[in-house]
Amino acid sequence: MKHLLYIVLILFFATSCKKKTAVVIQAQDITSDGAAYAGQEYAVAESWTPFQETKSKIVATGFLDANGKASFNLKMKNNRKYVLGVSQPDNICDGGLIQHYLDHDKNNTVIFKYAQCSYLKFNVHNINCNGPNDEVKYKRIWLTGNNEGTQIVKLGCFNFEGNYFELPAGNYRYDWEVTKNATTTYHSENFTLVAGDSSVFQIDY
């Protein structure tokens, strides 16, 4: 019985011992600049489940420096989970509130990527309509975020004047194809949306 108790205690201490791990945080936008996120608060939460009820506590907090960076050492118990989070910056259109589980077995370098908001007005004009069989197909691709939008298909004498709407800043491309008189032409144009700025993109066909 005594030997069994020793074994249980050894297993307990082996699974609950603390290991010091280095944690590096870098918050940055699409230009890899972290200055916009200086002063954002970060926190690490430790969680465990002793008796079928999960408990948690904050074990590390701080603020990102002038370059959007922070580094610290963290003692982590093998039988517990550790989640790192950074407070959500203002005027963000991509990234939001992100949580990251830390690895017990190695140093952790965690990069939080954000895209600030910009504004786009999109217009489409069939300037030389031939009738109801005219067709235009178009879609927008966010090159910076590697995200492709849904293709839109419109028929006839289509004209559209949009309002300004928010998009993540970065590099984009519009692809469109036009079919008139049974002939299809293909078009593509790149453009850049600057954070906090407004732009207009117009397709005339």
The residue extents of the domains of the chain are 19-113, 117-204
Q: Indicate if the pLDDT at residue 9 is higher than 80.
A: no
Q: What is the pLDDT of residues 41-72, one digit of tens each?
A: 999 999 999 888 899 999 999 999 999 999 99
The tokens describing 80, both together, are: 């517990």
Work out the average pLDDT over 153-164.
98
pLDDT band at 3 (very low <50, low <70, confident <90, very high): very low
- What is the third-level CATH fold of 117-204? Immunoglobulin-like (2.60.40)
Q: Which amino acid makes up residue 199?
A: S
Architecture of domain 19-113: Sandwich (2.60)
DSSP, residue by residue, 126-188: -TT---TT-EEEEEEEETTTTEE---EEEESS-EEEPPPEEEESEEEEEEEEEEETTEEEEEE
